[in-house]
Structure 1
Amino acid sequence: MFPHHAAPNGADTAWMLVAFALVLLMTPALGLFYGGMVRSKSVLNMMMMCLTSIPVVWVIWVAFGYSLAFGKDHGGLIGDLTSFPGLNGTFGGFSAGGASQTPVVGTIPAILFVAFQAGFAMVAVALIAGAVADRMQFKAWIALAALWSVFVYLPVAHWVFATPGLTEPNGGWISSHLRALDFAGGTVVEINSGASALMLALLLGRRNGWPKDPMRPHNLPFVMIGAGLLWFGWFGFNAGSALAANGSAAMIAVNTLGAGAASMVAWLIVEQVRHGHPTSFGAASGVIAGLVAITPACGAVTPIGALAVGAVAGAVSSVAIELKFRWRYDDSLDVVGVHFVGGVVGMLMIGLVGSKSTPGGVDGLFYGGGFDQLWRQVVAVVVVTAYAAVVTALIGLVLKRTIGLRADRQEEADGIDDAQHAESAYDFHVLR
């Protein structure tokens, strides 16, 4: 039964405490990033949807979520409810031969691994909020966050993150049987949330006036600050997934920097060529696209490969965000164009520019590895996309026909902040 008992490594534990904090920062940073993108009458609602992802996920995670994601494997599909209920078995310790022994995952305390992984689930839920901005009932959002965490996130997390020898003796089917590479959650977080976001956008329908009326970001400095904080947090997200203060973590941090930088440049070049102006909104979006793409690939590509991953992601996503106007689906804040598309790019690029010289240990097509790894990446992308889309659609339909999904259209017109929360972000009344 995992975890086993040992003395944690002090350096690894210190680094992972920092990485956990960085990952936790990403959810409120996303609230700032998304909050700046919406209109001023919706900013509080958007930030609330992001922030409430933290308590909703944590309660589920402690009660049974971690156990389902990382507990005893059942056919590579899901963990066991009885492995770690209430996080039993992940904390405490005993004395053996005078040395304190605690439950560990790898070389760090198991309870720290629990908290670190919870941060991934939190930000995955919050990402979906970008597709439903301006028009979803808050009570429906809370119900969706809970149900999606249980029925979509937890199974996919088990498929990918439950790996033999680290957290579970057998492991999930994507990591152990398919042997697709996804170092830090390109499928679990990005593709999962992106495919789900598309389904919810379709179920909710378009915002009043979209796409005819301009719905510009109300605060671009918020967007840029949020992007900067996300980039900062992403070092914990990716390099922390090495679970140790070692050379792998250092290389992954460098890849995370490089992909974000290359993606920003690529996005701005595409903007300049297509529209004549490089924008601050494009710069922020470009960084995020590159970070999304390098998430699965950060442990499988070289620093040069990371630049390629980022450049492709920035260029492709900058074009992909405009598909919603052609296909007429209202993905308010481009969750599909950035997170889904970026996640797919990152997963597939492993099959092209992966290198045996990295922790991933697999050569992609361009490094002489043939198509072997590429087809594995494709299968993982297709299956996770289909699963997330179908299950999210079912959850959305149930909520739509019970408590309702969409806010009243007059509430949307007047401002969802006031209608749903009885507050406004900005008070412009003159005091007398």
Structure 2
Amino acid sequence: MNITIVGTGYVGLVTGTTLAELGNSVYCVDIDEKKVEGMKKGIVPIYEPNLEEMFLRNIQSERLFFTTDLQEALEKSEVIYLALPTPPGEDGSADLSYVLSVADKVGEMITEYKVIVNKSTVPVGTADRVREVISARTNIEFDVVSNPEFLREGFAVEDSMNPARVVVGSSSERAKDIMSQIYQPFTNTGIPIIFMDEKSSELTKYASNSFLAVKITFMNEIANYCEKVGADVDKVRLGMGSDDRIGNRFLFPGIGYGGSCFPKDVKALIRSGKDENFDFEILEATEKVNISQKVILVSEIEKYFNGDIAGKTIAVWGLAFKANTDDIREASSLDNIEILLEKGAKVVAYDTVAEKNVRKILDDKIQYAKSMYEALENADALLIATEWPEFKNPNFKMMSEKMNNKVIFDGRNLYPLEIPEQNGFFYKSIGRKTILG
């Protein structure tokens, strides 16, 4: 099948590459000429494990194409995926201007039946709005489908090629048949397509991400309480996770959630509720707790240095909001660095994958190390903000030799307590006893 993907951001590029891998001819459209030229040359504009190999394979097989010409792509395709940004406004609502602008152009350009697929995360009722915008521009028959993505950054290729389910919202049997054809390679291997109405499909995405945000935040609250009463959150987590009604995923405490999805989707669902005179009280509490959780270790750092960190050198391992991505949107590292700088500390950070994106924001306000150990040179303390695999089994002897103080504040609970204790480190993590060194 011939398919157009409008937007080559994270969702659009992964979706387009996956659909090409499934044997379709995919035309990816973007207004950024430099980006399009780079992709034509095989340059992947985002960092995502295993994406480049699949990307290059499908370019070489002439199934994946890139263009700035929306009209050309529409003429070649039966199905149009809208994978456009929906950034949060000041009130938390999703900005649909990109989606509706492209819908307007599609309405002007189509000359035969098309299926328009909302792949972006959008509020309930967006399919109706897209339908209205296109209908105002054309009398040509078309259908609008909601087909939300459920990709985890860092595992997007795995998730796109082996999804737990495919959710399709449509009131048109013709559109359902076409979407069934597209996803037949999945259904052939037992992956279900769940058909529903458009509004339910749109809400499914928000509900899923918001529930996971709540689960993470609940566990962080439990972790903070563990410290008050002397319990060990690792043991509590194992006890909870063994209950199959709860499951063990998203029960790992830390310095809050970030990224492009959870914060934005929680805000958007809260705002959507208010538009209907409905208060998502549990989500409002989740958002509030997460804001404070992200920087909960800063006060611990201050406490260790008797309330004064001015002039102290704090090494930071990890800048991305999570491992295996270069995404720094809503990253806890940035919130911590901002406060540390305000209090007069010097920050030396290490994250070779996310460094480029952080430089665009912080420039030379912090220093950037070329290795995790270089970041520790004369450091007064280490703050671990991202759970990159290379941080999980470090050389503690080398760390001791490089640091002024053997002090670790671990926002991701990377080490069993006995490891820093055996190596003589002060070690403060989340929801566990503090090792005094």
Give me the TM-score of the superposition, normalised by structure 2.
Answer: 0.25
**Higher relative contact order (CA closer than 8 Å, sequence separation 6+):** 1
| Greater share of helix | 1
Return the index of the structure with the highest Cα Rg. 2
